[in-house]
Amino acid sequence: MKPRFLLAVLVALAPGCMTLDPIVLATTDASLPMDAGGLPLADADAEVSLTACEECVFGVGDGGTGCKAQWDACQKLEVCVKTIACARAQSCLENKDFKQALDCGLPCAKAAGMTDQTSPEAIAVLDIVSCVQSTCAKPCRAGEFAGKP
């Protein structure tokens, strides 16, 4: 999907979702190393057990393909990292179609401090969601595979 289309979808969905209460960003899931603030660590050498979806999203294993480029870009933006950490903790990336993933993740974006749907952080988050829906659709049971075993 084109980033402009994704941005239009996010802008269209955002007004109705901005009244939701923030979601706590910390996670108790230890499958990805987290820092004290509940953010995923970028240590590729860490010994962790990732799901097939997380391996694809974070670009580990299989030569670092999947959404690695999008994840690397996100890691440079604190609000993006916080949004994805929260979305992961809330299971927004797995077993969802595009609209479901956005609906699930919008409270995370708000809680992470995202205030502008045209910001670099918003684009970085949308790039990851788009990649999950296409490149990582099968291991994440996303996009056309949403709701299927």
The arithmetic mean of pLDDT across residues 115-141, rounded, is: 94
Instruction: Tokens for 6, please give them.
Output: 């994704």
Task: Summarize pLDDT for 26-74 with one digit per residue, the tens.
Answer: 333 334 445 444 445 544 444 557 888 989 998 887 666 899 999 999 9
Query: Looking at residue 148, what is its pLDDT?
Result: 76
Question: Is the per-residue pLDDT at 107 higher than 50?
Answer: yes
CA separation for the pair 137, 144 (Å, rounded) = 7
Q: How many CB atoms lie within 10 A of CB 125?
A: 31
The sign one gets for the Cα dihedral 90, 93, 95, 98 is positive
Q: Using CA atoms of 71, 72, 77, 81 in order, give the dihedral in degrees to the nearest 10.
A: 40
Q: Which pTM value belongs to this model?
A: 0.68
Question: Is the per-residue pLDDT at 115 higher than 80?
Answer: yes
| DSSP β-bridge partners for residue 34 | 40
Query: Looking at residue 4, what is its pLDDT?
Result: 41
- Ordered by start, the domain boundaries in the chain are 3-14+50-145
Question: Is the per-residue pLDDT at 77 higher than 60?
Answer: yes
Question: Is the per-residue pLDDT at 105 higher than 70?
Answer: yes
| DSSP β-bridge partners for residue 40 | 34
CA separation for the pair 114, 47 (Å, rounded) = 31
